[in-house]
Amino acid sequence: MRTIEWNSENKTIQMVDQTLLPQEYRTIECTTIESLCHAIITLKVRGAPAIGAAGAYGIALAAQTSIAETPEELLRELESAARKINSTRPTAINLAWAINRVMKTVTSKTGTKQEILETALEEAEAIADEDIRTNKKIGEHGATLLQTGDTVLTHCNAGRLACVDWGTALGVIRSAINNGKEIQIIACETRPLNQGSRLTTWELSEDKIPVTLITDSTAGHLMRRGKIDKIIVGADRITEDAVFNKIGTYTHSVLAKEHKIPFYVAAPTSTIDRNHHEKDITIEERDPDELRYLNNIPVYNPAFDATPIENITAIITEKGILHPPLTF
C-alpha cells in the first residue's frame, strides 16, 4: 500500500505507523484532526512529502467530520484545521504547501458542504498521485548521475516511507537499479530517531537493494578511505541559500567537500521556498527525552540543519537537475 492514503470505505486517513518499523508493519487510521496532528508530531507519518499528503488529506478529513450547518461555517472550520495541522512541524515546507493548495482550491469555488468535501478530497488525491509521478521523474533524472559500481551514502529516510510512494533520494537509487545499474547503499543510522537504521534499511531490504548500515560518525572515516562515491539525501525545504534536511546532513556535506565527493539533493520542486532565506526558517526542536539518559541534563535536540547551497553539487527535481548557485 501507499505510505498514506484516504480510506474511502471508512472515510479516514490510513497510514503506515512508522514508529513501529522495522519490528512491525501496521497501518493506523486517523479519524479526527487531533489524531492526525498527533500522528505527525510523533512521526507516525514523517518525511516532507508524506506529511504534505497528510496535511492535504487532513483538510478533507476536517470537511468529512464537520458538523457545520452552512458552507461558510465549514470553510471557517477548514481554516482552523489548516492552522492546527500546519503548526505541527515547522521546517518541511511541503506541509504548508499542500495544505495551502487544498485550501486555495476549496475557497476558489462556491458550493454546498458536500461539494466542498468532494473538492478537498479530489485535490488531496491529486497531490498524493502527483507525488508518485514526481518521484518517478526525479528518479529518472537522478539515475543518470549514478553508475554501476557506485557506493552511495544516504542520510535519514528519503524513501517511499517519507513520501506517498517510491521516494526521492531512494527513488533515484530505485530508478538506477531498475535501469540495470549495480549500486551499493550505505545508510547512516540518523540519530536520535534512527530513520536510517529503522526505515531506510527496512525499505531497501524489502526491495532486495544491498544496504550496509553505519553509525552517523562512521561516514567521515569511510569518505577518507575512498569508500563513498556519491551522497544523495532528500530535503525538507530548499531556499536560495540553503537546503534544510535531517540533522547531520550539513556535516556530511562538509566532509563530502573535503573529500571531493559529489553531494546530491533529490527533492520535488514543491520543496523549494522562493520567499525565504536560511535565516528566516525555524528549525524544529524536539523533545529532550529523545536523547536524554540522565534526568535534568540540558539537551539541545534540533531535528534539521541547513546545508549551504555551495556545498551541494546538484539538486535533482522532477523538472531536471539544477546546479547551484540557485537564482529564484
Any idea which residues carry the catalytic annotation?
236
For ligand MRU, the closer CB: 228 or 316: 316
What is residue 120's DSSP assignment? H
For ligand MRU, the closer CB: 49 or 90: 49
φ, ψ at 79 (rounded to 5°) = -60, -40
The CA-CA-CA angle for residues 316, 320, 324, to 5°, reads: 60
Quick one: which of 195, 200, 313, 317 contacts ligand MRU (CB under 6 A)?
Answer: 195
* Footprint on residues 150-169 left by ligand MRU (CB under 6 A): 156, 158, 162-163, 168
- The stretch near ligand MRU (CB under 6 A) out of 9-17, 42-50, 107-115, 126-134 is 42-50
Taking the complex as a whole, the smallest distance from the CB of residue 322 to ligand MRU amounts, in Å, to: 16
For ligand MRU, the closer CB: 106 or 163: 163
- The stretch near ligand MRU (CB under 6 A) out of 3-11, 40-48, 67-75, 178-186 is 40-48
* Footprint on residues 112-151 left by ligand MRU (CB under 6 A): none
CA distances from 150 to 57, 154, 249, 301 (A): 38, 13, 20, 33
- Sheet holding 320-322: strands in order across? 211-214, 184-188, 151-154, 230-233, 263-266, 314-317, 320-322
Taking the complex as a whole, the smallest distance from the CB of residue 92 to ligand MRU amounts, in Å, to: 6
Taking the complex as a whole, the smallest distance from the CB of residue 310 to ligand MRU amounts, in Å, to: 20
* Footprint on residues 237-296 left by ligand MRU (CB under 6 A): 245-246
For ligand MRU, the closer CB: 66 or 94: 94
* C-alpha to C-alpha distance for 247 and 209, rounded to whole angstroms: 25
The CA-CA-CA angle for residues 187, 192, 196, to 5°, reads: 20
φ, ψ at 147 (rounded to 5°) = -125, 155
Taking the complex as a whole, the smallest distance from the CB of residue 55 to ligand MRU amounts, in Å, to: 13
For ligand MRU, the closer CB: 165 or 236: 236
Taking the complex as a whole, the smallest distance from the CB of residue 49 to ligand MRU amounts, in Å, to: 5
Taking the complex as a whole, the smallest distance from the CB of residue 31 to ligand MRU amounts, in Å, to: 23
For ligand MRU, the closer CB: 118 or 129: 129
Binding string to ligand MRU for residues 289 to 328, with x set by CB under 6 A, is what? --------------x-------------------------
Burial 2-29 (b: 16+ CB within 10 A, else e): bbbbbeeeeebbbbbbbbebeeeeeebe
The grid coordinates listed for 39 are 500522528
**According to the binding rule CB under 6 A, does residue 21 interact with ligand MRU?**
no
Looking at the chain, list the stretches that DSSP marks H as alpha helix, in order from N- to C-terminal side: 33-41, 48-65, 71-86, 93-108, 113-143, 169-178, 201-206, 219-224, 249-258
Nearest to 264 by CA among 253, 248, 278: 253
* C-alpha to C-alpha distance for 76 and 37, rounded to whole angstroms: 18
Which three-class secondary structure state does DSSP give residue 307?
A: strand
Where does this chain bind ligand MRU (CB under 6 A)?
A: 43, 46-49, 92, 156, 158, 162-163, 168, 195, 234-236, 245-246, 303
